[in-house]
Structure 1
Amino acid sequence: MDELKRYSRQMLFTPIGEDGQKKFNQSKALVVGMGALGTAIANHLVRAGFGYVRIVDRDYVEKSNLQRQMLFDEEDVAAALPKTVAAKKKLEKMNSSVTIDAITTDVNASNIMDLLEGIDFVMDGTDNFSTRFLLNDACFKKKIPFVYGGAVSSRGMTALFVPDVTPCLRCFIQGGEQTSGETCDTIGVISPIVDVIASYQVTEIMKYVAGDHDKLHKSLLTMDIWNNHSYAMKFSSPKEGCTTCQKKEYPALQAGTRKDVTSLCGRETIQIQLESRFDLKEWAIKLQKTAEVKETPFLLKAQLEEGERLVIFPDGRVLVQGTEDSGRAKALYARYIGM
C-alpha cells in the first residue's frame, strides 16, 4: 500500500482509481524502438507504474538524437551507449519498483515471437513500416493489443489495434507498404509532435488496461500541430481479404522475411547481419591494423581509410555508416569482415 502512494494523484483520477492502478502494476509492456517516440512512451509507462517494461532497440546514442529523445544526454553520446542501456539507467532512477528489461537487438521475424513472450501489449516506437507490419502481424497472431504511432515533421498518427475487436494496421495501408518515403532524417521533426503522439499512445493503453473501453478512440488519429490540422478516421470493418486479421496468414512473420541488408531510415547507414555473434575484443585486434578503432563494452567503432565507418555489435550486426549504397556497404563489409 505504501508503494501505491507514489501514484496517489493518478489514482484520484476516477477512471483509474486503485483498481486501475493495480492493473497497471501487473501489466507487462513491450516498447519497440528507443528513439523519440519510444523514450517518451517508456517515460510515461514507468512513471505511471506499469510493472514490467521490456525495451528493445538496435542502435546507440548519437548527438542528433538529443533534440527529441528525452532519456538521453551528452554523457550517453560520449560513451556511445546503446540506447537500451542508456534508457534503462534513466528509467530505473525514475521508478525502482518497475522491472526494466533492456535488449539491444534488431527486431525481426526470427526473434519477435520470443520478444513477445509474457507480454500484454506492444507500443510502437519504431521509424519504419516494415517493422510496424511485423509488430502488427505478431500481435494479431498472439491476440494482444498493438499501439501504433508515427511522427515526422510536425505531423503524427496513432491508433490502438486490438485483435478480434478492431481492424489491423495492414487494413489501413494498401498492400502493407510505406509510400511517402518521408522520415525524420529527410524532412526533420519537431519534438512537441513526438510528445503529443506518445501521450496519445500511452493514454489509449491506459484506458484499455484500466478497463474503460467505452472511452477508447476507435480511430486512426492524424494531426499536424504546426498547421493546426487534425482528423480522426473512425474504424470501419476490416478489409475483406486482409492477410493479417482476416486470412490470418501473417505475411511479415513468414520464413525468409528477415532482411540481412537494411537501410536505416535515411541516415546514410546500412545494417548488415550475416553472423550470429561477434567477439568485440577479437575484432578490435583484427581491425586495428587497417582502421582507427574505438572499443566500448557494448560495441566497436572502426573508422575506415575509405571514409566510411563500421559499427560492430556483439549480436552479429554491423552498421556501415557514411553510405546509402547497399552495394558499397556490402563491398566494405566483405573487405573488412568477410562474406
Structure 2
Amino acid sequence: MNKNDLARFSRQLLMQDIGYEGMEKLMNSKVAIVGCGALGSTQAEILARAGIKKIKVIDRDYVDLSNLHRTHMITEKDAIDTLPKAIACKKWIKEIDSSIEVESVIDDFDSTNAEKFLNNVDLIIDGTDNLESRFLINDFSVKYNIPWIYAGVSSWYGNVMFIKPNQGACLRCLIPETNNQNESCDIIPSIGTMTTLVSSISSNLAIRYLAGNEVPYGVLFVIDGRDISLEKIKITKNEKCPTCGLHQYEFLEKKISRNVVRICGTHAIEIRPEKFLNIDFIKKINKIKEKFNVISINKYSIRVQRDTIQIVLMNNGLGIVEGINDVNIAKKLYDELFNIII
C-alpha cells in the first residue's frame, strides 16, 4: 500500500474488522458486477470508493434519460450520447480512482458466455433485473464454488442475500420454480432511494466478506422502504434443490439462439451479429447520413433514425431497433445500416 492509498483510505483503515490487513485484501480482490444499471452502478461506485482495485462490469444496454432518476455515475450527457452503460460505469469509476483496473463488457449475459465472463473473480454481485440471469449466476456460483450476492428491487421493497455456495442455501433454495409468476415483461416500478438502499446493503456484505470477515450467508434481508424496516429471514438449504442439492446446472447448459430477440418490457428488438466486430463509425459517417438521420455518435455507439424508428448500434455490432415490434422490418433496417458500416 503506497502513501496515496494510506491517505485515501485513512478513515477506512481505522474501521474495526478492516484495518491494514483487511484493506490489503480489499485492494487485491476482483469483483464482477452483472448489470450496470441502477443497482450495478451504485454497487460499482461504493466498491470503487472502498478500494476494490479490479472491477468487471457486464451490461449490453445504453444510458437512457429514464435511467437518470435512479442510476449512479451517469449524466444527462451520457444519455444524449447513447453511451453504453458498461462504458459509462468504467468512465466514472476511473474518475473516482484512476488506478482501478476496470473491465467493461458490452454484451448480453447468458449461457454462451457466463463461464468466460465470471471466470477468475473472488465475488459476483447481482445488478440484474431478471430471474433468468440470477439463476444463471447461481448455477455458475455453485458449480465453481464462487460466492455471489443476490440483490433485487421492486417499488418500495428490496431483497439481498449473500450466497456461499455448497455451504448455505442458494437462490434455487429460496425460489425453486423457474417459471415464477412475478416475472413478466412489465416495466418494474422503482425509486432511487430503494436502489441505493439495496446497493448499500449488498455492497456492505461484499466489503465485509472481501476484507476477510464472516458474513451471514443464506439469510434473506427484506427491506421495506415505506416503513423503513429491515427483516432477516434464515433460508434453509434444500438437499433436493436442483442446483446446490442435485448439482443440475440447467441455466448454464441451456441452449439458446438469440440472433434476433424482442426485448422484454419494450417496443424494441435486439439483433446480434454472427461475430462481434470493432466498428469505426466515424469513418463511415457520411455514407450513414445519406440513408439515416444521425442522432448521436461516439466511438462506442451510434444512434440513427428513420421515420419513427431508431437504431442504436454498438461498435461490436450489437444492435437495438426501437419503436417497432416487427422482427422482419427491424432486421431489414439493421442489415441496411450494418452493411453501410462494414
The one-letter code of the counterpart of 1:211 is: G
In 2, Cα distance between the equivalents of 1:36 and 1:103? 17
2:151 corresponds to 1:153 = no
SS at match of 1:72: coil
In 2, Cα distance between the equivalents of 1:304 and 1:182? 30
CA contact (8 A) 2:155 2:191 kept: yes
* Aligned counterpart, 1:320: 321
Please list the CA deviations of residues 158-198 of structure 1 after superposition, one character each: whole Å capped at 9, or x if unmatched.
11111111121122113223421468x73521111111101
Cα distance change of structure 1 residues 188 and 83 upon mapping to structure 2, 3 Å threshold: same
* Aligned counterpart, 2:330: 332
Please list the CA deviations of residues 186-213 of structure 1 after superposition, one character each: whole Å capped at 9, or x if unmatched.
3521111111101111111222222321
Structure 1, unmatched stretches of 5+, are none
SS at match of 1:174: coil
* Aligned counterpart, 1:301: 303
Cα distance change of structure 1 residues 98 and 223 upon mapping to structure 2, 3 Å threshold: same
CA contact (8 A) 1:128 1:265 kept: no
* Aligned counterpart, 1:106: 108
In 2, Cα distance between the equivalents of 1:129 and 1:262? 18
In 2, Cα distance between the equivalents of 1:283 and 1:317? 17
Cα distance change of structure 1 residues 126 and 262 upon mapping to structure 2, 3 Å threshold: farther
The one-letter code of the counterpart of 1:109 is: S
* Aligned counterpart, 1:209: 210
Please list the CA deviations of residues 71-90 of structure 1 after superposition, one character each: whole Å capped at 9, or x if unmatched.
00122122221112222121
The one-letter code of the counterpart of 1:266 is: G
In 1, Cα distance between the equivalents of 2:181 and 2:260? 20
Structure 2, unmatched stretches of 5+, are 337-342
CA contact (8 A) 1:204 1:217 kept: no
2:2 corresponds to 1:4 = no
* Aligned counterpart, 1:194: 195
Cα distance change of structure 1 residues 159 and 131 upon mapping to structure 2, 3 Å threshold: same
Cα distance change of structure 1 residues 172 and 283 upon mapping to structure 2, 3 Å threshold: farther
CA contact (8 A) 1:39 1:69 kept: yes
The one-letter code of the counterpart of 1:220 is: L
State the Cα distance separating 1:48 from its structure 2 match: 0.5
In 2, Cα distance between the equivalents of 1:189 and 1:182? 15
Cα distance change of structure 1 residues 231 and 264 upon mapping to structure 2, 3 Å threshold: farther
* Aligned counterpart, 2:243: 244
1:71-82 correspondence to structure 2 within 5 Å: 71-82=73-84
* Aligned counterpart, 1:267: 266
Match of 1:180 among 179, 182, 185: 182
1:282-297 correspondence to structure 2 within 5 Å: 288=289, 290-294=291-295, 295-297=297-299
* Aligned counterpart, 1:231: 231
CA contact (8 A) 2:130 2:183 kept: no
Cα distance change of structure 1 residues 145 and 232 upon mapping to structure 2, 3 Å threshold: same
CA contact (8 A) 2:131 2:183 kept: no
- Structure 2 length as normaliser, TM-score? 0.88
SS at match of 2:187: helix
Cα distance change of structure 1 residues 284 and 168 upon mapping to structure 2, 3 Å threshold: farther
1:56-71 correspondence to structure 2 within 5 Å: 56-71=58-73
Please, what is the CA RMSD of the aligned residues? 2.4
SS at match of 2:8: helix
- Structure 1 length as normaliser, TM-score? 0.89
State the Cα distance separating 1:23 from its structure 2 match: 0.7
Cα distance change of structure 1 residues 189 and 112 upon mapping to structure 2, 3 Å threshold: same
State the Cα distance separating 1:40 from its structure 2 match: 0.5
State the Cα distance separating 1:329 from its structure 2 match: 2.9
Q: Percent identity?
A: 30
